[in-house]
Chains A and B, each alone.
Chain A
């Protein structure tokens, strides 16, 4: 085999073995470093992210970072030391590469003191002839080991996961308020000169949202207003960054609007669950004018008279204009209520008829006067004799009235032993026939069970 280097440049066999040993030692060190370095770096990144997210304070972070570095150094040492190549191993590698028969091994490991000089010289001479076959850099290149890739990959994944999940976890554990988000968004928008004005408005909105004195309806209206502005601006905006900011703002405002409407509902529900609710058919702002209802008042406890307006008889709620803006949810409510209310004019509606029959039957056998009084005549308007003095076919003549919705317990007390019609409605104590112009929240389980017409004797006071 031809030697690749000039004989004078050839290193001594023992030197070559020593060089190879050092080179393999370096390889082992690199292996250890490349395997341990990514996890250490990942842990430092993790610490940095934790500090950024205010999960840990700087003292803890410094301690953890020092610990990670120390642990890394320890692991490197523990991994590197056993992998240090022994002289004999290095010599054997050279032997293998050079096709020698343990020439280098013998030269590298033998004690020259125990050898005769001529034989040692001869061995060295033989080995030097073989040295040319080996080139350390070519024959023993550094190769990255598979664990290095695994280490780097897994560390990267961990860092990415932390980077992505920490903000999520932070928002889950410490949610940022909508107004705060709006403020942050406004600050970013304020950096763009063209969006400065909108940013100011957003800030104002954020302040408004935080103000507990402002009604939810007002907040909702304000949100909607800004949302419209943002949408309009979005249409005209050319710059991409601004468009992105505007779309973020739009999303945020949309979410806010939904949130506001949900909270409005919640509030309404809470109000309805609380003690008495005074409802009136007096014209209010944002509500249509209530229609007059007709019906009979109750004469006393346990004898509640079913007051029934004409509209109610036709299955309509007597509340104001359902098309009133800002009352979408209420409209929905009304619709539900309507759907649940019996419609005596609708032919073939057997269950309603059955219920009406039952009510009448109840009054016949005298077991429940309440039942009889609550159940209005289905097919025809009540006879004249059923009207109180001052009342007519069209209700109280020339009078405006209010109905009082009593809490459930009070209603029950007022009824005494009175039997409520429960069949078919699915809601406890729910009146089958609407007795007021107040739309009943049909799907609310704890809705008031009774709507009691205002006794006639109190009408004068309210009036």
Chain B
């Protein structure tokens, strides 16, 4: 596949989604990058910011199957992955696997933190292995597969914060900010007028193949060893006991309980590659990396009690880390 085609498709998808979603250009881009990188997205934002609409629009533009799961405390794992159902097949009764909503190209796990950990963990295998196992039988999920989970940061009563293991499986954690006044004006114009904006399907029927090709191309994007080394140093700097986080970075030692896992570095590099392709380049630059560090690492560093008590956010610590770690 040609890099130009990737860029063109990417930009068309972006523009189609932006027909529906006002603002959030960065979020849309990063969602698309994560999609082509084969990752999952955790969207965090207060209700009403268009998170669900964004995911719907994405699936619609991609022309792929889309399922939405509203996570509630009484949601069971089988409600997600599916279950064996006894069916009558020409007089012969047998168990047949009934697929759950996870079997889709794009899955929206709405308010994922409202489900119990047991249910949440049901999504784990699907996210990582791209397969589910029911009654000892594994069922492979369709490719491409992407989970976009949302969570509300303010209504925390009666919620179950996602375990670290599950958080780590999200490629990016994107923060959906409230719209700016002019964006809000545009939202009102689009949603309260006679004409309601709708996005069209960008990919044709062979879209799946195209997406797979694009995913393959993304992995072929070149990254210079010094930039790779920069990513390594950045991720290593989030470790409170790491060499980089010695006396030079007080905030890491002070506020971080656990640093990022290697998945953080993978996310940064894959995301940077996607960003480079989206910009029409076939190599990663330092800027690509720096642009994605916070999104890739903010949910992967575990803050300690002191950070919570002093209301220090992961983004602040990461900004500090990026100041400390210099380019080569």
- Residues of A whose CB lies within 8 Å of any CB of B are 88-89, 92, 101-103, 105-106, 108-111, 115-116, 119-120, 122-123, 126
- Residues of B whose CB lies within 8 Å of any CB of A are 3, 220-227, 279, 281-287, 327-328
If A122-B3, A122-B282, A123-B282 touch, whether A105 touches B287 (CB-CB below 8 Å) is no
Contact B220 A102 (CB under 8 A): no
Contact A106 B223 (CB under 8 A): yes
**Which residue of A102, A109, A115 contacts B286 across the interface (Cβ within 8 Å)?**
A102
If A106-B283, A119-B282 touch, whether A88 touches B226 (CB-CB below 8 Å) is yes
If A101-B281, A101-B287 touch, whether A106 touches B224 (CB-CB below 8 Å) is yes
Separation of A116 and B216 alpha carbons in the complex (Å): 12
Separation of A123 and B220 alpha carbons in the complex (Å): 12
Contact B284 A102 (CB under 8 A): yes
Closest 9 CB pairs of A and B: A102-B285, A101-B285, A106-B283, A106-B224, A119-B282, A109-B224, A88-B226, A122-B282, A105-B224
Cβ–Cβ < 8 Å partners of B220 in chain A: 115-116, 119
Contact B222 A123 (CB under 8 A): yes
Contact B227 A102 (CB under 8 A): yes
Separation of A126 and B283 alpha carbons in the complex (Å): 11
If A102-B286, A122-B282 touch, whether A115 touches B227 (CB-CB below 8 Å) is no
A-B contact pairs, 13 of them (CB 8 A): A88-B225, A92-B328, A102-B284, A106-B227, A108-B224, A109-B225, A116-B220, A119-B3, A119-B221, A119-B282, A123-B222, A123-B282, A126-B281
Cβ–Cβ < 8 Å partners of A92 in chain B: 327-328
Residue among B227, B279, B281, B328 with most chain A CB within 10 A: B281
Interface of A: prevailing SS: helix
Contact A119 B222 (CB under 8 A): yes
Cβ–Cβ < 8 Å partners of B3 in chain A: 119, 122
Question: Considering only CB atoms, which chain A residue lies closest to B226 in the complex?
Answer: A88
**How far apart are B8's CB and chain A's nearest CB, in angstroms?**
15
Cβ–Cβ < 8 Å partners of B227 in chain A: 102, 105-106
Contact A123 B226 (CB under 8 A): no
Cβ–Cβ < 8 Å partners of B327 in chain A: 92
Contact B283 A109 (CB under 8 A): no
Contact B282 A109 (CB under 8 A): no
Cβ–Cβ < 8 Å partners of A126 in chain B: 281-282
Separation of A92 and B226 alpha carbons in the complex (Å): 10
**Which residue of A89, A111, A123 contacts B283 across the interface (Cβ within 8 Å)?**
A123
Cβ–Cβ < 8 Å partners of A88 in chain B: 224-226, 328
Contact A106 B287 (CB under 8 A): no
**Which residue of A89, A101, A115 contacts B222 across the interface (Cβ within 8 Å)?**
A115
Separation of A318 and B128 alpha carbons in the complex (Å): 133
If A119-B220, A119-B221 touch, whether A105 touches B282 (CB-CB below 8 Å) is no
**How far apart are B40's CB and chain A's nearest CB, in angstroms?**
27
Separation of A88 and B225 alpha carbons in the complex (Å): 9
Separation of A111 and B223 alpha carbons in the complex (Å): 10
**How far apart are B102's CB and chain A's nearest CB, in angstroms?**
34
Separation of A115 and B217 alpha carbons in the complex (Å): 11
**How far apart are A125's CB and chain B's nearest CB, in angstroms?**
10
Cβ–Cβ < 8 Å partners of A109 in chain B: 224-226
Cβ–Cβ < 8 Å partners of B226 in chain A: 88, 105, 109
Separation of A123 and B284 alpha carbons in the complex (Å): 11
Cβ–Cβ < 8 Å partners of A102 in chain B: 224, 227, 283-286
**How far apart are B227's CB and chain A's nearest CB, in angstroms?**
7
Separation of A119 and B220 alpha carbons in the complex (Å): 8
Question: Considering only CB atoms, which chain B residue lies closest to A122 in the complex?
Answer: B282
**How far apart are A292's CB and chain B's nearest CB, in angstroms?**
105
Given A102-B286, A122-B282: 10 more A-B contacts, CB < 8 Å:
A102-B224, A102-B285, A103-B283, A105-B224, A106-B283, A110-B222, A110-B223, A110-B283, A122-B3, A126-B281
